[in-house]
Amino acid sequence: MRNFLALTLLSALLGLTNGQSMCPPLFIEFFPDPAVPMPVCIHFAMDAKRDWHAAKDYCKANSGSSLAMLDTGNLHYEIIDYILGNPAWMDEGFHIGCTDEIHEGTWLWTDGTPVSTGLPHWYPGQPDGYTKENYGCLYYTDFMYNSCKNGQMLYTICQI
C-alpha cells in the first residue's frame, strides 16, 4: 500500500512537471488548496439533465466519481468562477453531493460527512422546502448551495 501511494504521488508530481492532466478524460483539474499538489478532478455533465439519484449513478459510472463535495478550501468558489465563465450555463442549476433524505434537516455529503451550514456556502435562507427539497444543488444566478426539489432535473457536477 505504501509503495502504491508513493507511486501515485510520484506520478502526480511527474504529471505536474510535464503539463499533462492528472484527471481522467472529461474531468478538469482544480487546485483549491495551493499547499496540496494533487488536483481535484471535476466533470460538468452537460449532456443531459437528471434527477439527483440518476446524477449520482452517472458520476459513479464515469471513472467511479462522486457528486461534487464542495466544502473543501476554495473549491466551491473556484467552481462558481468556472460556471460564470460559461455564459450558456448561467440560467442553470447543478446537482452536488449533499442530501437530507435520510433525516430531514440533517445535511450530509454522500461520504457521510456533515455539510457546512450558512455562509459562505449556502444562499441565505437555504436550505428550505423541508421534505419537498432534499437534494443539494448550485443554483443560478449565484451558484451558492440551495436545496433543490425532489426529482428536479438539473445538470451534474462529478468529482474525483
Q: Which residues bind Ca ion (CB under 5 A)?
A: 100, 134
Q: Which three cell numbers stand for residue 112?
A: 457521510
Q: Of 83, 55, 73, which is closest to residue 141 (Cα–Cα)?
A: 83
Nearer CB in complex with Ca ion: 51/100: 100
Q: How far is the CB of 103 from Ca ion (least distance, A)?
A: 9
CB 144 within 8 A of CB 121: yes
Kindly state the smallest distance separating residue 132's Cβ from Ca ion, in Å.
Answer: 7
CB of 113 to Ca ion, least distance (A): 18
For Ca ion, give the closer residue by CB, 92 or 100. 100
Task: Please say whether the beta carbons of 98 and 68 come within 8 A.
Answer: no
Cβ closer to Ca ion: 126 or 134? Answer: 134
Return the H-helix or E-strand segment holding 159.
Answer: strand 154-159
